[in-house]
Homo-oligomer: A and B are copies of this chain.
Amino acid sequence: MKTNLKKIVPIENLSLVDKVELRLKQYFKDNNLKIGDPIPKELEFASALGVSRTVIREALLRLRTIGVIESKKRSGMVLTQPDIIQNFEKAIQYNLLGEEALVDIFELRLILEMGMADLLFARKTPEDIAVLDKIVSKQEKEEQDTTIFSLEHEIAFHGKLYEMSRNTTLQRFQNLLLPVFEYVHDNMPEGAKDYKYSKGEFVTHRDLFKILKDGDAATFREAMRNHLEPHFDRILAMVKL
């Protein structure tokens, strides 16, 4: 084999399986393999790379776990499109996120809701508007006798907005983040209900709905900023450096 110093890869601290994984990745790239293409068998890789079948097996298992390869009944292993959200989901399911990651993710939610106005206005349908109207009416009816903050209504309303973005990645992202939002809501400080809005008035789901129906994206953004103000206040009061 000719050596090529330009393609050199640092090898310190890498296990044999790490190295095999890198080689496999390079192999897919060099051969310009695409989704659906078959790849060689365990035994062939083992003999080509000069390592044991166990090592190859372990490296291939990693690729299977992140969703880059899949075993097909007839054609053996083929390359697949990794499901990026599923990988994220698997990592999050174990409830092992630290405080900093939780705050980062909660901020991400605020950023997404502030940022998606243009998509909502470009993609809303009369059906969306009708469904959203029902969601808001249901909430108004059920909250008549109480001022208790209901997570269920929050999820119904904001979840519908994510759906209206027609961005599948964004929607699935939102779904898997729900446990994080529940955590944040459960940890809301006492007195959050008496929050004083800087502009005096609180922008309700009904207000947001009306703008979404007849207004424009810029107005919606500023209304959403008001709606989310207590959350922004908490987040922005934290020192991050």
Which residue of chain B lies nearest to A240 when distances are taken between CB atoms in the complex?
Answer: B166
C-alpha gap A107/B165 in the complex (Å): 10
Q: Are A111 and B101 in contact (CB under 8 A)?
A: no
Specify which chain B residues have a CB less than 8 angstroms from the CB of A170 in the assembled complex. Answer: 104, 107-108, 111
Chain A contact surface mostly: helix
Q: Which of A113-121, A137-145, A151-159 contacts B (4 or more CB under 8 A)?
A: A113-121
Among the interface residues A58, A98, A118, A218, which one has the most CB atoms of the partner chain B within 10 A?
A: A118
Specify which chain B residues have a CB less than 8 angstroms from the CB of A100 in the assembled complex. Answer: 168
Q: Which of A6-14, A77-85, A207-215 contacts B (4 or more CB under 8 A)?
A: A77-85
Copies in the complex: 2
Q: Mark each residue of chain A from 167 to 180: 1 if its CB lies under 8 Å from any CB of chain B, else 0.
A: 11110000000000
Q: Which of A41-49, A59-67, A183-191 contacts B (4 or more CB under 8 A)?
A: A59-67
C-alpha gap A93/B68 in the complex (Å): 10
Q: Mark each residue of chain A from 6 to 28: 1 if its CB lies under 8 Å from any CB of chain B, else 0.
A: 00000000000000000001001
**Interface flag for A51 (CB, 8 Å):** no
**Interface flag for A52 (CB, 8 Å):** no
**Interface flag for A123 (CB, 8 Å):** yes
Q: Mark each residue of chain A from 198 to 219: 1 if its CB lies under 8 Å from any CB of chain B, else 0.
A: 0000000000000000000110
**Interface flag for A35 (CB, 8 Å):** yes
**Interface flag for A149 (CB, 8 Å):** no
Specify which chain B residues have a CB less than 8 angstroms from the CB of A79 in the assembled complex. Answer: 94, 96
Specify which chain B residues have a CB less than 8 angstroms from the CB of A4 in the assembled complex. Answer: none
**Interface flag for A29 (CB, 8 Å):** yes
Rank and list the top 6 A-B pairs by shortest CB-CB distance, nearest first.
A115-B115, A111-B115, A82-B91, A114-B115, A104-B169, A122-B236
For this complex, 23 residue pairs linking A to B, each with C-beta atoms less than 8 Å apart, are A35-B96, A58-B61, A61-B61, A65-B65, A66-B87, A66-B91, A80-B96, A84-B92, A100-B168, A104-B170, A107-B165, A107-B170, A108-B169, A108-B170, A111-B112, A111-B119, A112-B112, A114-B114, A114-B116, A114-B118, A118-B232, A122-B236, A217-B225
